[in-house]
Amino acid sequence: MSTIRVRSSASYWLALPATVWMLVVVVVPIVLLAWVSLWGGRSLSPTSPLTFDNYAKFFANKTYIDLALSTIGHVLLLMGLTGLLGYCIAYFLVMKVRSPIWRLVLFLAFVVPFWTSTLIRAIAWVPFLGVNGVINRILLALGATHAPIEAFLYSRTGITMAQVSLYTMMAAGPVVYMLNAIAPQLREAAMTLKAPPFVVFRRIVLPLTLPGIVIGQVLVFLNVMSDFATVATVGGNKHALLSNLVLLFYEGSQIRAASVVAVLLMLCMLVGVVAAMRVVDIRRLGTDR
Protein backbone atom coordinates (compact mmCIF):
# COMPACT_ATOMS: atom_id res chain seq x y z
CA MET A 1 0.00 0.00 0.00
CA SER A 2 1.37 3.41 -0.96
CA THR A 3 2.35 5.80 1.87
CA ILE A 4 2.11 8.90 -0.35
CA ARG A 5 -0.80 11.09 0.64
CA VAL A 6 -3.11 12.37 -2.08
CA ARG A 7 -2.54 16.06 -1.33
CA SER A 8 1.16 15.79 -0.53
CA SER A 9 3.84 17.58 -2.57
CA ALA A 10 5.28 14.21 -3.62
CA SER A 11 2.04 13.25 -5.38
CA TYR A 12 2.13 16.49 -7.40
CA TRP A 13 5.77 15.95 -8.38
CA LEU A 14 4.97 12.40 -9.50
CA ALA A 15 2.09 13.71 -11.64
CA LEU A 16 4.19 16.50 -13.17
CA PRO A 17 5.84 14.47 -16.02
CA ALA A 18 2.49 13.08 -17.19
CA THR A 19 0.91 16.54 -16.94
CA VAL A 20 3.66 18.14 -19.04
CA TRP A 21 3.41 15.34 -21.60
CA MET A 22 -0.36 15.74 -21.91
CA LEU A 23 -0.01 19.51 -22.28
CA VAL A 24 2.58 19.17 -25.05
CA VAL A 25 0.99 16.38 -27.11
CA VAL A 26 -2.72 16.97 -26.44
CA VAL A 27 -3.65 20.39 -25.11
CA VAL A 28 -1.29 22.55 -27.18
CA PRO A 29 -2.18 20.89 -30.53
CA ILE A 30 -5.90 21.27 -29.77
CA VAL A 31 -5.47 24.95 -28.91
CA LEU A 32 -3.48 25.53 -32.11
CA LEU A 33 -6.10 23.69 -34.14
CA ALA A 34 -8.89 25.83 -32.71
CA TRP A 35 -6.80 28.95 -33.31
CA VAL A 36 -6.20 28.11 -36.98
CA SER A 37 -9.91 27.40 -37.47
CA LEU A 38 -10.62 31.03 -36.50
CA TRP A 39 -8.15 32.59 -38.91
CA GLY A 40 -9.80 34.95 -41.35
CA GLY A 41 -8.65 37.00 -44.31
CA ARG A 42 -6.88 35.75 -47.39
CA SER A 43 -3.44 35.15 -45.92
CA LEU A 44 -2.75 32.07 -43.84
CA SER A 45 -0.56 33.32 -41.02
CA PRO A 46 -0.65 33.92 -37.25
CA THR A 47 -1.35 37.58 -37.97
CA SER A 48 -4.70 36.73 -39.61
CA PRO A 49 -7.73 38.26 -37.89
CA LEU A 50 -9.82 35.94 -35.74
CA THR A 51 -13.35 35.37 -36.99
CA PHE A 52 -16.11 32.75 -37.02
CA ASP A 53 -16.58 33.07 -40.79
CA ASN A 54 -15.04 29.62 -41.40
CA TYR A 55 -17.64 28.01 -39.16
CA ALA A 56 -20.41 30.05 -40.80
CA LYS A 57 -19.31 28.79 -44.22
CA PHE A 58 -19.40 25.21 -43.00
CA PHE A 59 -22.90 25.42 -41.53
CA ALA A 60 -24.14 27.33 -44.58
CA ASN A 61 -23.25 24.39 -46.83
CA LYS A 62 -26.11 21.87 -46.91
CA THR A 63 -23.79 19.12 -48.17
CA TYR A 64 -21.61 19.40 -45.09
CA ILE A 65 -24.64 19.39 -42.78
CA ASP A 66 -26.01 16.27 -44.49
CA LEU A 67 -22.60 14.64 -44.13
CA ALA A 68 -22.52 15.48 -40.42
CA LEU A 69 -25.99 14.03 -39.88
CA SER A 70 -25.03 10.96 -41.91
CA THR A 71 -21.93 10.52 -39.76
CA ILE A 72 -23.96 10.71 -36.54
CA GLY A 73 -26.49 8.21 -37.86
CA HIS A 74 -23.73 5.85 -38.95
CA VAL A 75 -22.02 6.07 -35.57
CA LEU A 76 -25.28 5.36 -33.72
CA LEU A 77 -25.87 2.32 -35.93
CA LEU A 78 -22.35 1.03 -35.25
CA MET A 79 -22.79 1.57 -31.52
CA GLY A 80 -26.02 -0.41 -31.54
CA LEU A 81 -24.62 -3.32 -33.57
CA THR A 82 -21.31 -3.57 -31.73
CA GLY A 83 -23.03 -3.13 -28.38
CA LEU A 84 -25.42 -6.02 -29.02
CA LEU A 85 -22.83 -8.35 -30.55
CA GLY A 86 -20.20 -7.41 -27.99
CA TYR A 87 -22.52 -8.08 -25.07
CA CYS A 88 -23.54 -11.45 -26.50
CA ILE A 89 -19.89 -12.44 -26.98
CA ALA A 90 -18.96 -11.30 -23.47
CA TYR A 91 -21.94 -13.05 -21.90
CA PHE A 92 -21.14 -16.28 -23.74
CA LEU A 93 -17.48 -16.23 -22.74
CA VAL A 94 -18.10 -15.52 -19.07
CA MET A 95 -21.43 -17.19 -18.33
CA LYS A 96 -21.60 -20.13 -20.71
CA VAL A 97 -18.01 -21.30 -21.14
CA ARG A 98 -17.20 -23.07 -17.91
CA SER A 99 -13.69 -24.29 -18.71
CA PRO A 100 -11.05 -21.60 -17.98
CA ILE A 101 -8.83 -23.05 -20.71
CA TRP A 102 -11.54 -22.86 -23.38
CA ARG A 103 -12.50 -19.41 -22.18
CA LEU A 104 -8.91 -18.26 -22.63
CA VAL A 105 -8.65 -19.91 -26.05
CA LEU A 106 -11.86 -18.31 -27.30
CA PHE A 107 -10.94 -14.93 -25.88
CA LEU A 108 -7.55 -15.06 -27.60
CA ALA A 109 -9.26 -16.07 -30.84
CA PHE A 110 -11.24 -12.84 -30.67
CA VAL A 111 -8.34 -10.67 -29.48
CA VAL A 112 -5.41 -11.88 -31.62
CA PRO A 113 -6.67 -10.18 -34.84
CA PHE A 114 -6.52 -6.87 -32.99
CA TRP A 115 -2.74 -7.21 -32.73
CA THR A 116 -2.52 -6.10 -36.36
CA SER A 117 -3.01 -2.60 -37.72
CA THR A 118 -6.55 -1.30 -38.19
CA LEU A 119 -5.67 -0.34 -41.77
CA ILE A 120 -4.44 -3.86 -42.54
CA ARG A 121 -7.62 -5.37 -41.11
CA ALA A 122 -9.70 -2.95 -43.17
CA ILE A 123 -7.82 -3.85 -46.35
CA ALA A 124 -8.27 -7.54 -45.55
CA TRP A 125 -12.04 -7.06 -45.92
CA VAL A 126 -11.75 -6.11 -49.61
CA PRO A 127 -11.22 -9.72 -50.86
CA PHE A 128 -14.18 -10.81 -48.73
CA LEU A 129 -16.62 -8.16 -49.94
CA GLY A 130 -15.77 -8.01 -53.66
CA VAL A 131 -17.87 -9.38 -56.50
CA ASN A 132 -15.61 -12.43 -56.63
CA GLY A 133 -15.00 -12.34 -52.91
CA VAL A 134 -15.45 -15.01 -50.28
CA ILE A 135 -18.93 -13.90 -49.19
CA ASN A 136 -20.32 -13.90 -52.72
CA ARG A 137 -18.78 -17.29 -53.45
CA ILE A 138 -20.39 -18.75 -50.34
CA LEU A 139 -23.79 -17.27 -51.23
CA LEU A 140 -23.54 -18.63 -54.78
CA ALA A 141 -22.49 -22.07 -53.52
CA LEU A 142 -25.45 -22.17 -51.14
CA GLY A 143 -27.84 -21.05 -53.85
CA ALA A 144 -28.86 -17.99 -51.85
CA THR A 145 -28.29 -15.78 -54.90
CA HIS A 146 -27.97 -16.37 -58.63
CA ALA A 147 -25.55 -13.52 -59.30
CA PRO A 148 -22.78 -11.87 -57.29
CA ILE A 149 -23.98 -9.07 -54.99
CA GLU A 150 -22.23 -5.80 -55.74
CA ALA A 151 -23.58 -3.97 -52.68
CA PHE A 152 -20.97 -5.35 -50.30
CA LEU A 153 -17.89 -3.49 -51.55
CA TYR A 154 -17.65 0.30 -52.00
CA SER A 155 -20.93 0.77 -50.17
CA ARG A 156 -22.22 1.84 -46.77
CA THR A 157 -23.12 -1.81 -46.12
CA GLY A 158 -19.52 -2.89 -46.62
CA ILE A 159 -18.25 -0.09 -44.39
CA THR A 160 -20.66 -1.13 -41.66
CA MET A 161 -19.67 -4.80 -41.91
CA ALA A 162 -15.96 -3.98 -41.73
CA GLN A 163 -16.30 -1.57 -38.82
CA VAL A 164 -18.50 -3.96 -36.86
CA SER A 165 -15.76 -6.57 -37.10
CA LEU A 166 -13.12 -4.01 -36.13
CA TYR A 167 -14.83 -2.54 -33.08
CA THR A 168 -17.03 -5.28 -31.60
CA MET A 169 -14.31 -6.45 -29.22
CA MET A 170 -13.92 -2.89 -27.95
CA ALA A 171 -17.54 -3.10 -26.84
CA ALA A 172 -17.11 -6.61 -25.45
CA GLY A 173 -13.92 -6.13 -23.42
CA PRO A 174 -15.28 -3.88 -20.65
CA VAL A 175 -18.41 -6.05 -20.38
CA VAL A 176 -16.22 -9.13 -19.85
CA TYR A 177 -14.51 -7.30 -16.99
CA MET A 178 -17.81 -6.33 -15.37
CA LEU A 179 -19.33 -9.79 -15.78
CA ASN A 180 -16.32 -11.35 -14.07
CA ALA A 181 -16.81 -8.91 -11.19
CA ILE A 182 -20.37 -10.11 -10.46
CA ALA A 183 -20.43 -12.44 -7.47
CA PRO A 184 -22.06 -15.79 -8.43
CA GLN A 185 -23.93 -15.74 -5.10
CA LEU A 186 -26.14 -12.90 -6.35
CA ARG A 187 -27.51 -14.92 -9.24
CA GLU A 188 -27.72 -18.07 -7.13
CA ALA A 189 -29.74 -16.25 -4.47
CA ALA A 190 -32.12 -14.87 -7.09
CA MET A 191 -32.62 -18.30 -8.64
CA THR A 192 -33.17 -19.80 -5.19
CA LEU A 193 -36.03 -17.32 -4.79
CA LYS A 194 -37.54 -18.71 -8.04
CA ALA A 195 -36.64 -15.68 -10.17
CA PRO A 196 -36.85 -16.50 -13.90
CA PRO A 197 -33.57 -16.23 -15.88
CA PHE A 198 -34.77 -13.12 -17.71
CA VAL A 199 -35.60 -11.39 -14.41
CA VAL A 200 -32.17 -12.31 -13.03
CA PHE A 201 -30.57 -10.80 -16.11
CA ARG A 202 -32.73 -7.67 -16.10
CA ARG A 203 -32.58 -6.95 -12.36
CA ILE A 204 -29.04 -8.11 -11.51
CA VAL A 205 -26.73 -8.79 -14.44
CA LEU A 206 -27.66 -5.89 -16.72
CA PRO A 207 -27.49 -3.10 -14.08
CA LEU A 208 -24.15 -4.37 -12.77
CA THR A 209 -22.66 -4.53 -16.28
CA LEU A 210 -23.98 -1.11 -17.34
CA PRO A 211 -20.64 0.65 -16.63
CA GLY A 212 -18.91 -1.84 -18.94
CA ILE A 213 -21.51 -1.24 -21.64
CA VAL A 214 -21.03 2.52 -21.40
CA ILE A 215 -17.23 2.31 -21.50
CA GLY A 216 -17.37 0.00 -24.52
CA GLN A 217 -19.76 2.33 -26.33
CA VAL A 218 -17.53 5.31 -25.59
CA LEU A 219 -14.58 3.45 -27.13
CA VAL A 220 -16.62 2.52 -30.20
CA PHE A 221 -18.00 6.05 -30.53
CA LEU A 222 -14.58 7.70 -30.40
CA ASN A 223 -12.97 5.25 -32.83
CA VAL A 224 -15.76 5.29 -35.41
CA MET A 225 -15.94 9.09 -35.35
CA SER A 226 -12.22 9.29 -36.16
CA ASP A 227 -12.01 6.32 -38.54
CA PHE A 228 -11.25 7.54 -42.04
CA ALA A 229 -9.05 4.63 -43.17
CA THR A 230 -11.79 1.98 -43.18
CA VAL A 231 -14.23 4.29 -44.93
CA ALA A 232 -11.68 5.19 -47.61
CA THR A 233 -10.56 1.57 -48.12
CA VAL A 234 -13.89 -0.25 -48.10
CA GLY A 235 -16.10 2.62 -49.25
CA GLY A 236 -13.80 3.85 -51.98
CA ASN A 237 -14.56 7.34 -53.23
CA LYS A 238 -18.33 6.85 -53.06
CA HIS A 239 -18.87 7.36 -49.34
CA ALA A 240 -17.33 9.56 -46.67
CA LEU A 241 -17.71 10.63 -43.07
CA LEU A 242 -16.63 13.84 -41.37
CA SER A 243 -13.20 12.36 -40.65
CA ASN A 244 -12.67 11.86 -44.40
CA LEU A 245 -13.64 15.48 -44.98
CA VAL A 246 -10.71 16.56 -42.80
CA LEU A 247 -8.33 14.56 -44.98
CA LEU A 248 -9.92 15.92 -48.16
CA PHE A 249 -9.54 19.53 -47.04
CA TYR A 250 -5.98 18.92 -45.89
CA GLU A 251 -4.96 17.37 -49.22
CA GLY A 252 -6.52 20.38 -50.94
CA SER A 253 -4.44 22.75 -48.76
CA GLN A 254 -7.61 24.11 -47.16
CA ILE A 255 -6.08 24.20 -43.70
CA ARG A 256 -8.69 26.45 -42.12
CA ALA A 257 -11.59 24.30 -43.38
CA ALA A 258 -9.82 21.14 -42.19
CA SER A 259 -9.31 22.72 -38.77
CA VAL A 260 -13.01 23.66 -38.56
CA VAL A 261 -14.13 20.09 -39.26
CA ALA A 262 -11.52 18.70 -36.84
CA VAL A 263 -12.72 21.02 -34.07
CA LEU A 264 -16.35 20.04 -34.73
CA LEU A 265 -15.38 16.38 -34.59
CA MET A 266 -13.69 16.89 -31.23
CA LEU A 267 -16.73 18.74 -29.92
CA CYS A 268 -18.99 15.88 -31.01
CA MET A 269 -16.70 13.42 -29.24
CA LEU A 270 -16.69 15.57 -26.11
CA VAL A 271 -20.49 15.78 -26.10
CA GLY A 272 -20.69 11.99 -26.55
CA VAL A 273 -18.35 11.32 -23.63
CA VAL A 274 -20.19 13.79 -21.38
CA ALA A 275 -23.51 12.16 -22.28
CA ALA A 276 -22.08 8.74 -21.45
CA MET A 277 -20.84 9.96 -18.09
CA ARG A 278 -24.33 11.26 -17.35
CA VAL A 279 -25.55 7.67 -17.64
CA VAL A 280 -22.74 6.13 -15.58
CA ASP A 281 -19.95 7.94 -13.76
CA ILE A 282 -17.14 5.85 -15.23
CA ARG A 283 -14.58 7.83 -13.21
CA ARG A 284 -15.73 5.95 -10.11
CA LEU A 285 -15.41 2.55 -11.74
CA GLY A 286 -13.51 0.22 -9.44
CA THR A 287 -13.43 2.64 -6.47
CA ASP A 288 -15.86 0.51 -4.51
CA ARG A 289 -13.66 -2.54 -4.73
pLDDT, residue 285, reads 57
d(CA 172, CA 86): 4
> What is the structure's pLDDT at 289?
47
CB atoms within 10 A of CB 166: 23
**Residue range 39-85, pLDDT digits in tens:** 887 777 777 888 899 999 999 999 999 999 999 999 999 999 999 99
Taken as a whole, the chain contains a residue count of: 289
The predicted structure's pLDDT at residue 34:
92
Mean pLDDT, consecutive 10-residue stretches, the chain (289 aa), reads: 62 84 90 90 79 92 92 93 93 84 80 75 81 83 81 84 89 89 84 84 89 91 89 82 88 89 91 84 56
Kindly list the structural domains of the chain, giving each domain's residue range(s) and its CATH number in brackets, ordered by start.
62-284 (1.10.3720.10)
Q: What is the pLDDT of residues 168-177, one digit of tens each?
A: 988 998 998 8
How far is residue 151 CA from its own chain's centroid? 24
In terms of Cβ atoms closer than 10 Å to its own Cβ (0-12, 13-18, 19+), residue 102 is exposed
Among the listed residues 159, 19, 137, 12, the one whose alpha carbon sits nearest the alpha carbon of residue 75: 159
